[in-house]
Structure formats: structure tokens, C-alpha cells
Amino acid sequence: MIGALDRVAGPEARARLRGNAVSLIAEGVLTGIGFAILVPLLRHLLTGDLAAAGLWLTVEMAVIALYAALRLKTQLAGYRTSIWLGRILFRRLALHIAQLPLGWFNADRVAQIGRLASQGVINVIGVPAHMLRPVITALVTPATVLVLMFVFDWRLALAMLISVPAIALVFRRNGDLVQRQEHDLNAAAVEAAGRMIEFAQSQAVLRSCSRDGDDLGALDRALVRQFDVTRKLIHSVGRGLLSFILVLQIALTLVLLFGVSLALGGDIDAAELVALLVLLVRYVEPLIVAADLEGVLRMSRNNLQRMDTLLAVAPLPEPESDRSTQPRDSSVVFDAVGFAYDDSPVLEDVSFTVPHHSMTAIVGPSGAGKTTILRLIARFWDVADGAVRIGGVDVRDMAGEDLMQHISIVFQDVYLFDGTIAENIALGRERASAADIERAARLACVDEIAARLPDGLASRVGEGGSALSGGERQRVSIARAILKDAPIILLDEATAALDPINEAAVQQALQALTKDKTLVVVAHRLQTVRAADQILVLRDGRVAERGNHDALLSLDGDYAAFWKERHRAGGWRLGPAELRKSDEMRE
């Protein structure tokens, strides 16, 4: 566990934890000595030697005072270490997550990160504050008692020592069992958390399909699995603890019988036997505490290993800040680019150029790689083959912060943070003035939204922007991009799912956003495609056709078929005849 903590939190964590452990070992030794002093103290009391008993009582009080001072020191050190460790773990995880490729994140990994950053960190930082002391003292104190038993009676000490391998074997076996089953519990909990989020987010779809709480499907199965795994773990912990106590009590009983036989044979007197049996009981009690906490300690070790695994995920390589190359303009070049998701090829030998201050539209069937092209420009991932260049510079040779200064992204799915409209717009540029925010809001037609709300731009948007409609969220997203004023704009069909009123407002906002910019647009709407300087037609991860609107129509290929299909869809209407036919089919 120390090694994993060293990798996760750094050398200082190891030094702090080892310093605490050394102090706790000293505390455990003092506890064992305090118990051992009871043997001569009780022996002299039972034999009536009060003077000697008084001397041993004085020694016992001195040991207790020293133990109390050390206990206060280790207790405060444990709390301080826990607070420090929590700050370090949260910071390291946050900084590392912020550097991971955006394509690395999926629903399962997000759920795992959420569990790790909440329960996982709390579990780990509880070790120095609450678990290290009882575990260390529970092991050191019996060991100290056992060593001192050889001073009082080597035969009873040897009998106790013989039982140690069996006790240690059961102890380790139970810990390994808990560790394995905790992995299963974590996987089940992550799945259940993901399904719960999915269930909450899909309420509109479920209710529109008349699916109520009696049919939870995947969520119900995930929760049942989590319940079953939790119950199995609890039963295993309970059975393991009982088996350990049973082995311990058997060993204690055998040593007790051996001590009685020695007393009956006259090898030790009754007073000494009573004192040694008191010491024997104090040997057993801490071991039970250790067995009870071993499972929790193994869980902490598992969480540390998960953090270690997460921190081992390689972030995108970054050039040194003073070596980050700056683009000469806002042109974009794909040079023989190949890319795959988890060994599933998406793009193969894709090459094209988006000239400075031009517009390129990308069309093609679902799964052809349109959105992937936008995300490779923004370096959500690194390409497998070839290169993506902005202004003649490979995006891999630009620092992430520098690259993002050249790009604004407006995706179809917009996420707003739970703050005000103004705060969400201000994400586009750090330290933007109120006047700049208001100008961006006006150009993106967000001022119309603010005018309807009681607090204007200071109105809160709710978690994920839930207080606004999809079109309104899109306008806020465009206002954010306008405020950023980056030279390259990436648009992923920003108006595809909007009503006519919001579409008109968003189109007006896009005109303000894209003036004198380089645009790469994933588009389906005819007006957007036709206005492009260059159109790329993707098929099976390759550029099948390229050219302007008129040139591609003359080829009578994929683009011409796309154009004709869109024209037919644009002229489609549901008239009275179709409605009557639909009614007849329902009857």
C-alpha cells in the first residue's frame, strides 16, 4: 500500500505515512509494555507484597503517561496527514483528468471517476486518521506481549508462538477474499451509477414510450447485481471474521489448558498463572480488532490501485511551453490521416486543405467520420497515421492551451454549467469585461432570452442548462464562441434539431461568429452546404468526392444523390390523405 501511495500522492505522502507508522509502532509497543507490567503487578498484589506492587504501579503510571502523550501526537498527526492527503489526491486526480484525451472519456469511465473522486478518496484519506492506528497497534501490541511473555514464562510464550502461523494464515486468506470481492462490488457500483444517470437523463424518451418505474430494464438489473454483490461481500466478511475468531479462541483455549496443566503440576503458582492469563487475553483482543479492520484497509488499497491505474493513463504529449510553435494563419490541412477507435478504423488516408478564411462543409452518411474530423482538428485524440496541421504547424507541436486559442467549437449537444448566463458566456474568454459579454450576447441573440428572464444575464441556467431550451442553450454556446473570437470555427450541425424561430436566431448568431473566420462545418442543411467554398463527401472513412456545389452536382455521384434526397425530404408534407390513411391503419 505504501508503494501505491507513493506513486499516487508522491514521496512526501510516503514520508508522512511512514513517520506516522513509526510513531504508531512506538505507541503499540508502549501499549504492550503496559499490558506486560500487569503480570508482576498482579503477582505481587496476589501474594501480598504491597511494596513491590506499589513500585510496579508507579512504573505502570509512567508508561500510561508516556502513552497518552504519544497518543495525542499520533492522533493529531493522523488528522493532519489525512487533510493533506485529501488535498493532494483531489488535486492530482483533477490535474491529470484535465490532461487526458477528450476521446478517452465515456459513460463507464465518467461513472468510475465519479465514484473514485468521492468514495474512493474519502476511503483512502481515512487510513491515516482512523485505520492506521488500530491496525498497527493491533499487530504491534500482541507482538510486544508475545516477546515479553518469554521473559515471564517461555513455555506459555512458545505455546502462543506456535499458534501464530494458523492465525496469520486465516487473517491473510480473509483479507484476500475481501479484496477480490471489493473489486466486483466496485464494478457493480460503477455500472449502477452509470445506469442511474442514464435513467434520469432519458426520462423524456421513457415517458413518451409509456415506460414507467415498473420496467427499469438495465437499471433494475444493475441495481440487483449491486445488491447481490454487496450481500455476498457482507456474508464473506462475516464468515471470515467468525472463522478468524474461532481459530483465535481455539488457540487461546489450548494455551489456557496448557497453562492450567503447568499450574497443576506445580511449575508455576496460581498467582502467576492468573497474571499471565490476563496478559494472554490482552494478546487476543487487538487481533480481533485487526481482523475487523483488515477488510476496510484492503478496500483502501484497491482504491489506491485504481487511482494509480487512472494516473497511469498517458495524457496527450505536450511540447515544452517555450517550444510551442505558432501557426502562420488559420488554414487547416489533413495529410494522409488515419484514425481508429479501439482498433475500429474510422478514417483512412484522408487528405484535404481548408484554406485561410474559407468554409468547408463535410457531408456523408452516419459513421463516415465527419465529427471525428472536427475532433481531430481540436486534438481530442492524436491521429494514428499522417498529420493534422493548422497554419503549417502540426497540432501535436502546439501546447494544448495554444491550440485552443485558435479554435472555437460549437457542437449540436451543448452543455452549460450551473451558473448564470453571463458566467457561461464568459467561459469563452478569461477576464472578459461586462461590456464584452453583453456584446457577445447581443450578437448571438442571447439578449432576447435575457430580456424574458427576471434577472437578465444574471439568471441561472440550471444544471446542464436545464432552465433553457435547446435553441437557447445553443445561442449561449455561440455567444461563448463569439467572445472567444478564435480564428477557426468548428461547427457540428448546430441548427439540426432547432425549431424555426430558434434556427433563425442561431443562423443570425452564426453569421456574426463566422465573419472573417476559417470554417469547418459538418452540415446536412442544403443552404449551409451550398454556401461552402469546398464540400467534402465522406464514404467509409475516405474522401470520396470534393469540390464546390456545382462541380459535385455535375459528377452525379454521392453528393448529387445526397442533394436530391434532401430536396425530396424538404418537400415532404403530411396532408389529409396521409392522416386518414394513418387513422385507418390504427383502426
The domain spans of the chain are 2-312, 324-406+487-505+514-587, 412-485
Nearest to 350 by CA among 544, 203, 171, 165: 544
How many angstroms separate the Cα of 106 from the Cα of each of 101, 328, 554? 11, 35, 42
Contact indicator for 255, 159 with CB cutoff of 8 Å: yes
Reading the block at residue 379, the C-alpha cell is 486534438
**pLDDT given for residue 248 in this prediction:** 77
DSSP states of 296-362 as a string?
HHHHHHHHHHHHHHHHHSPPPP---GGGPPPPSSS-EEEEEEEEEETTEEEEEEEEEEE-TT-EEEE
Domain at 324-406+487-505+514-587: CATH code: 3.40.50.300
Same topology, domains 324-406+487-505+514-587 and 412-485? Answer is yes
DSSP states of 73-92 as a string?
HHHHHHHHHHHHHHHHHHHH
Q: Which CATH superfamily is domain 412-485 in?
A: P-loop containing nucleotide triphosphate hydrolases (3.40.50.300)
* CA atoms of 331 and 459, how far apart (whole Å): 38
> CA triplet 148, 149, 153: central angle to 5 degrees?
130
Sign of the four-CA dihedral 201, 206, 212, 218: negative
The residue written with cell numbers 489526491 in the block is 89
Nearest to 16 by CA among 69, 79, 70: 79
How many angstroms separate the Cα of 274 from the Cα of each of 42, 102, 234, 279? 8, 68, 38, 9
* CA atoms of 42 and 453, how far apart (whole Å): 81
Order of strands, edge to edge, in the sheet holding 518-522? Answer: 407-410, 488-492, 518-522, 359-363, 534-539, 542-547
**pLDDT given for residue 211 in this prediction:** 57
Strands 344-354 and 332-341 turn out to be: antiparallel
**pLDDT given for residue 119 in this prediction:** 78
End-to-end CA distance of the chain: 69
Reading the block at residue 436, the C-alpha cell is 464584452
SS3 498: coil
* CA atoms of 50 and 41, how far apart (whole Å): 9
Contact indicator for 437, 447 with CB cutoff of 8 Å: no
**pLDDT given for residue 571 in this prediction:** 53
The domain made up of 2-312 has a fold known as ABC transporter transmembrane region fold (1.20.1560)
Residues of the chain scoring pLDDT < 50:
214, 574, 578-587
